[in-house]
Amino acid sequence: MTTGDGVLAEAGRRRSFAVISHPDAGKSTLTEALALHARVISDAGAVHGKGGRRGVVSDWLELEKARGISITSAALQFSYRDTVINLLDTPGHADFSEDTYRVLSAVDSAVMLLDAAKGLEPQTLKLFDVCRHRGIPVLTFVNKWDRPGREALELCDELVERIGLQPMPLTWPVGEAGHFRGVLDVADGSFVRYQRTAGGATVAAEERLSSAAAEAEAGEDWVRAGEELELLAESGGEFDAQRFLAGEATPMLFGAAVLNVGVRHLLDLLVELAPRPTPRLDADGEPRPLDADFSAFVFKVQTGMDRAHRDQVAFARVCSGVFERGMVVTNATTKRPFATKYAQQVFGQQRSTVDTAYPGDVIGLVNASALRVGDTLYAGKPAVRFPGLPSFAPAHFAVARPTDLSRAKQFRKGVDQLGSEGVVQVLTSDLRGDAAPVFAAVGPMQFEVAAHRLEHEFSCPVRLDRLPYTAARRLADPAQRSLVDSGRRSEVLTRTDGVDLALFDDEMAMRILLRHHPDLALEPLVAEG
């Protein structure tokens, strides 16, 4: 059994972070490049499997491969140097932001990926706000410097002006975007030049040159890089670890993930700078010591990872103590025991048995049909429960019906599965019945994913009939259900967690009903927690 000091030492070796960005900024490509530099894969795949290469390990769903975008988060655990990396790739599309926000509850830091040509985009801004709200420090990696883009100083100004985050460059590009010569390593003032590889499938070799040699090699580009760094230093851009951890400033690096350029710098800095696991606050606001008895919370549930077995995997972040495979833990939600015989380390779709895990680790619990997103698992006494994860306010609604009524059993099983994973929120009512559940979504692409999975995983094609509702509120008093159901442009449906949702065609329809029934108890649905 690992001692308390041993737990703290192991926790100190963990780095758990998420990669966040707007769609098409290169998250999955960067994730692949990080794994390549850690030597856990021998060659990097490509989104869409371009150029005859395999697809990226973090995009394993068939729909992800076909669309070339991440539609579900993915966990990758691997070792680099003496550090255990728990890397969570997130969907960038706003329609899947609920999944991304849940992932951010399970990490200690984040890498914010910026497109060199586009800078801060709307979804990136939203995700940064979540990081700031949760106190998650952010490192910034400016990607695609091998393509034409904006000025490096202009991108720095945007960080300051739009989100109040001071950039602290640790590498700086030599050569403008689209004419990438290499980077100036701020730590020692050297010039790092890269040798490109075919399609970026393997690690790009690096060569370091002294400042004098760099000036002879890169000329005006080197001189300009040094001058720009001096300007930033004068405006508060020198590195300060405390400002980074406080969320006031961001270490900044430049590169091109598709060519594996600048990625090693990022991986090394994550090991050196990213925060270690710290005591997590429980539902009562009390910190859970890292060396207390085992505890963890479920932030994601996924099925369909193993087509041969269709098993369900619950992803849990270890918060305290030592996890040992086979231990029996308690689910704080149901108060029932849960056996952990089938526990795995996850690397994209690939899985291997894990015998022990420590604070900061992400473990996959297989055959976990009894677990739901937000559940707390713990061993020993006293009991502990961590704050639940939010369900977002849906804005799109559709009635789901199987196109083949003989597949009704498969339909019900599939709908239950999608609801437990949070792919969509599943709503029902006595009026509609279980045969016609309503799918509620943050964005319409969730409907596409739900329909695709029902057809391909459960052999049950469905028809989705869109409903006109655009506004949703929580009905605080179930006795008032008839007031909403009696309206021509509203109805009440019950979510699988027991919450009654009052749905309206639009805000005007809701205000009209409230005018006639001012005592109607409607409450906003949380959008982030």
The answer, yes or no, to whether residue 510 has pLDDT greater than 70, is yes
Do 406 and 369 have their domain in common? no
List alpha helices for 262-399, DSSP H: 263-273
Considering the domain boundaries, does residue 388 fall inside one?
no
Considering the domain boundaries, does residue 385 fall inside one?
no
Task: Identify the pLDDT of residue 45.
Answer: 42
Do 324 and 229 have their domain in common? no
Do 285 and 345 have their domain in common? yes
How sure is the predictor about 350, in pLDDT bands with cuts at 50, 70 and 90?
low
Residue 159: Cβ within 10 Å count:
22
Residue finishing a domain among 237, 253, 273? 273
Task: Identify the pLDDT of residue 437.
Answer: 96
Q: In this predicted model, which residue has the larger pLDDT, 429 or 519?
A: 519
For 249, phi then psi, to 5°, come to -145, 160
Q: Give the tens place of pLDDT for each residue, 214-239.
A: 999 999 999 999 999 999 998 888 99
Do 104 and 150 have their domain in common? yes
Q: In this predicted model, which residue has the larger pLDDT, 245 or 88?
A: 245
Q: Is 92 annotated as a binding residue?
A: yes
Domain of 479, CATH number, reads 3.30.70.3280
What are the distances in angstroms from CA 9 to CA 82, 290, 360? 12, 10, 12
Domain of 371, CATH number, reads 2.40.30.10
Do 301 and 358 have their domain in common? yes
Dmax of the chain from CA atoms? 80
For range 254-283, the mean pLDDT: 93
Do 342 and 418 have their domain in common? no
Task: Identify the pLDDT of residue 174.
Answer: 96
Do 503 and 357 have their domain in common? no
Do 304 and 441 have their domain in common? no
Considering the domain boundaries, does residue 516 fall inside one?
yes
Considering the domain boundaries, does residue 528 fall inside one?
no
CA angle, residues 84, 87, 91, in degrees to nearest 5: 175
Considering the domain boundaries, does residue 508 fall inside one?
yes
Q: Give the tens place of pLDDT for each residue, 55-65.
A: 444 443 454 44
Least confident range of 68-82, 183-197, 391-405: 68-82
The answer, yes or no, to whether residue 277 has pLDDT greater than 90, is yes
Domain count, the chain: 3
**Helix, strand, coil % over all residues of the chain, rounded to 5:** 30, 30, 40
The answer, yes or no, to whether residue 527 has pLDDT greater than 80, is no
pTM of the model: 0.81
Domain that holds residue 127: 4-273
For range 88-97, the mean pLDDT: 65
Q: Give the tens place of pLDDT for each residue, 317-348.
A: 999 999 999 999 999 999 999 999 888 776 55
Could you give the dihedral angle defined by the CA atoms of residues 205, 209, 215 and 218, in that order, rounded to the nearest 10 degrees?
A: -10
Residue finishing a domain among 378, 404, 431? 378
Considering the domain boundaries, does residue 174 fall inside one?
yes
Closest CA to 47 of 59, 35, 36: 59
Q: Is 189 annotated as a binding residue?
A: no
The answer, yes or no, to whether residue 54 has pLDDT greater than 50, is no
Q: Is 89 annotated as a binding residue?
A: yes
Considering the domain boundaries, does residue 350 fall inside one?
yes
Do 224 and 306 have their domain in common? no
Domain of 26, CATH number, reads 3.40.50.300
Considering the domain boundaries, does residue 387 fall inside one?
no
Task: Identify the pLDDT of residue 208.
Answer: 93
Residue finishing a domain among 238, 254, 273? 273
Do 225 and 304 have their domain in common? no
Crossing angle of helices 152-163 and 122-134, in 10° steps, is 60
Task: Identify the pLDDT of residue 255.
Answer: 95
Percent of the chain topping pLDDT 70: 87
Do 335 and 257 have their domain in common? no
The answer, yes or no, to whether residue 73 has pLDDT greater than 50, is yes
Do 213 and 113 have their domain in common? yes
